Chain A
């Protein structure tokens, strides 16, 4: 990952993907929804970044904004998204359309509702090919069969004429992946690709994604709420909360020395299959904030158990900025660096003490 902060503002970028201060606001009847609030990150070719967050954290909207799927008719989109040197935010609809499905592709959480229920798989794959390539229908069909084979669908020449409802959930997600990768895009955005799937199928799909990534050298943005999935496949991780990026860095670092109390809370609250059992889980109290009435200062402040360690009303009133930690990743928190680290060490030690299985201690 490259370190980004305000000073790095420019009009172009050499990076493969660089998101700068992305902001998405939706006007609704109930008020302005601050879905994504100045999120920045970057991604190198062939790498995987995971965007982690709960519902309402803005992770899915971020993904859709990157695909140019959020129209300016319904939302305010600001900031810059440089993809292979071009700013997606300032592109017109036709430029974006040419990019989508060709250079960048997307798969979604629910493969059944994401495939058109009335068209055969063949028709949907052929369409994906012919939108971007000038080939005949039968040529496109051959490409589609080859791709279905690649994503592990047995006897694809027979299966290709099936309709989505005739396939199992795992097979449908394979079809979605085939459709996304059929034009060899450089970037794949996977929005909760395994959430609707069973755990053994999830393992297959993750395996498939990583092996295809190796073959096609596709960069992946993985949107998920599952920390286990992140640890398994991502290089970098961006933790989102209340529309903001609250912690960002290499997976190893963020998981082993988290500094944002929210990240810490998440890691501490999930039951884990690889650890000894503690008596109780250590949940984050309270509920996620509404994106319409966000807290004024730090978005996590109302649920934060450490804010008393910061003087006065700072957490409640002053918006913290992303700053670099001693370990080198970024965190958005008012706590002094040494306090953050001490908290993390204490909490992780607590988990370790009650959870750790012998010989499998966290580093």
Chain B
């Protein structure tokens, strides 16, 4: 009955990966993308190499890695509550709240080194967590699904951050809506002389590891998954399901807030209005998590893949003149195909 941890397990994993929804989903999405390209008169033979070059060649790899960090963070922001059965689509607002909170603290309070980085990040996580947690009582007490609640709360949060950066926290004399540059002590150290990649990378990777452990091997993770699978079962088992929804959303929001903080504390070391939400980390992350199809270990892999697609898309736009919105199309298609495959497979299993 017990399976050995040796070779067969590895083979089994490989087989399951190949048969999982991810491979046909990506394949299907790429096929449809190619069709879209052909339909609008773009030569895929030009576009795809441009996409790959845009993601990995000529120093672009560094930029791709830099984009991987916030995307992975936002993937955790979506995946953590999802495991407990709550959809967090309000990542933008939580991220903006975190970013503006971190910037405000770093600008207002002169802090000694190390603390000048750590405290703003903590405050960012706190701010993001609070914004997300607002949706929890809406969901558990008032039966407003979190998918709606988080999204509705997100928009005013983004507006509030935008207001703060334009007025109370604005850099005087600049035409751009941005804060002044943060004090040097609050700059996240760059990694190995890189211009973009900071200490945020190991931090987010470590947090991902902690999440994976907590999800699979702790009581909290078990109870969250039980709630996600069947809330009535969890309630029957004595789990405090409502409290858990609050923890899950707050936890997700904290990741999103932290991502906002990491962006602000990284180059160009200030909060620029719209710079957090414009790259679309939130929905790239949503697509990646859904692509991973409730296999937590696959989340970082899916994030890496979609980040390459996202960054490469900009290269494709520069080189081949294909609008980078193509990557959004691909992400949307991936999500739809994953959803369809999930049901088709479940029905085939029955």
Chains A and B are bound partners: no
